[in-house]
Amino acid sequence: MILVTGGAGFIGSNFVLDWRAAHPGEAVVNLDALTYAGNRENLAALDGDTGHVFVQGDITDRALVDRLLAEHRPRAIVHFAAESHVDRSIHGPGAFMKTNIDGTFTLLEAARGYWATLGEPEKAAFRFLHVSTDEVYGSLGPQDPPFAETNPYEPNSPYSASKAASDHLVRAWHHTYGLPVLTTNCSNNYGPFHFPEKLIPLMIVNALAGKPLPVYGDGMQIRDWLYVKDHCSAIRRVLEGGRVGETYNVGGWNEKPNIEIVQRICALLDELRPSPEGSYTRLITYVKDRPGHDRRYAIDARKIERELGWRPAETFETGIRKTVQWYLDNAAWAQRVQSGAYRDWVQKQYAA
Ligand code: NAD
Ligand code: DAU
């Protein structure tokens, strides 16, 4: 069995669903605090599946983590739990330090204690896989090569600084204590269950509601988009074959400026759910830029391809079409997650 943290969030829930399909014989213990970003409904397809054990709890709770490890004796921990939204980290960085740094520290210490109790060969087979981000490398200039695993860390936001700190802890726990760790640094994900505070789902739900599509600054910031199910398959591959102590960059080879993403979403909605008021592009609204906004991220994903034979299966075209269709087919899910707390956030972030 494996222990997953943050498995009710966007990527975590996709991973748990993917894992149960790919490894029906290996159970998942899913530890998630159910913050605003966690949603049990994402896992509804696993209701009645005895191979999925959901535990509501905090990764900073050492006693709880110790108990789960002792009780379930996982062969691996896959660590997704984090505060993940850059804009929220600008408004209130405290929660990011607590979960992303203290939480990772707590997990590492609990994992170290548990790992020390294992006999061979369980000890040799154990893995702690830390899911991180390309944002730790900072921002690229237009002509810079994409981020390689050897790039220096230059985090620019409270979020990326907290993730960088967690990556350093993971590295140190390997170097000092020999804990068998793996780290993945991934680019922007998109797909089903993406919380509509992030660019792609926000644009889809706002367009369908006839609301403005808020594009920060000049809309020419570049991100490298990866379909979430490709990220899940990359994590499975790294867990299976990654070299202990190594980091693997994961990306989609899909660099695109934000405005192009928004225009593509509008074009797909014009095709799939035309509005009587005309093209959704009429809703595009340029708004104040994000403070400290990173200009460009791009991932050099050659190491994971060379060493582990992983490449994304989706192109941006196929992935974004599936994503828009998913939001059209799951309007009730999108409606439900836009609860009172969500409306408070939107008011705070976009009022000006
Ligand atoms: P998310 O915000 O959608 O989900 C985070 C999950 O973690 C939620 O279910 C939440 O309830 C849970 N959580 C938060 N604090 C917790 C705590 N203290 N204890 C237990 N659970 C807690 O995030 P996501 O987009 O799914 O990202 C998952 C991971 O992948 C994060 O570590 C993030 O840094 C990383 N990542 C995300 C992206 C992306 O594009 N979304 C890209 C690269 C890396
Ligand atoms: O690169 C990986 C990272 O991608 C992850 O580590 C983060 O957890 C994840 O949130 C994401 O961070 P970004 O800041 O790149 O994603 P976001 O969807 O918030 O924004 C994508 C781009 O779109 C960014 O340049 C800001 C811009 N944007 C975003 C929002 C929410 C807008 O123009 N308008 C918006 O309303």
Per-residue pLDDT tens digits for 56-82:
999 999 999 999 999 999 999 999 999
pLDDT at 146: 98
Tens-digit pLDDT profile for residues 189-239: 999 999 999 999 999 999 999 999 999 999 999 999 999 999 999 999 999
Phi and psi at 127, nearest 5°, equal -140, 145
Is the Cβ atom of 256 under 6 angstroms away from ligand 2?
no
Within-domain flag for 308: yes
Closest ligand to the CA of 86: 2
DSSP string, 105-116: HHHHHHHHHHHH
pLDDT band at 352 (very low <50, low <70, confident <90, very high): low
Is the Cβ atom of 199 under 6 angstroms away from ligand 2?
yes
Structure tokens at 237: 């591959």
Within-domain flag for 283: no
Within-domain flag for 278: no
pLDDT at 324: 98
Per-residue pLDDT at 340 exceeds 90: no
The answer to whether 329 and 208 are in contact (CB under 8 A) is no
Point out the ligand 2 atom lying closest to the alpha carbon of residue 86. Answer: 14
Q: Whose CA is nearest to atom 25 of ligand 2?
A: 221
Within-domain flag for 151: yes
Residue 98 forms beta bridges with which residues?
A: none
Q: Which of 77, 100, 82, 83 is nearest to 29 (CA)?
A: 77
Is the Cβ atom of 296 under 6 angstroms away from ligand 2?
no
Peptide bond into 155 cis (omega under 30): no
pLDDT at 15: 98
Q: Whole-angstrom Cα distance, residue 19 to residue 8?
A: 13
| Mean pLDDT confidence for 87-96 | 98
Closest ligand to the CA of 195: 1
Within-domain flag for 248: yes
Domain count, the chain: 1
Within-domain flag for 212: no
Tens-digit pLDDT profile for residues 133-170: 999 999 999 999 999 999 999 999 999 999 999 999 99
Tell me how long the chain is: 352
Within-domain flag for 322: no
pLDDT at 103: 99
Q: Which of 131, 94, 93 is nearest to 9 (CA)?
A: 131
User: Domain containing 119 — which CATH number?
Assistant: 3.40.50.720
Point out the ligand 2 atom lying closest to the alpha carbon of residue 84. Answer: 8
Structure tokens at 126: 């154990």
Tens-digit pLDDT profile for residues 283-310: 999 999 999 999 999 999 999 999 999 9
Distance 144 CA to ligand 1 centre (A): 28
Q: How does the average pLDDT of the chain come out, rounded?
A: 97
Q: Which domain holds residue 147?
A: 2-193+226-253+296-314
Within-domain flag for 305: yes
pLDDT at 351: 84
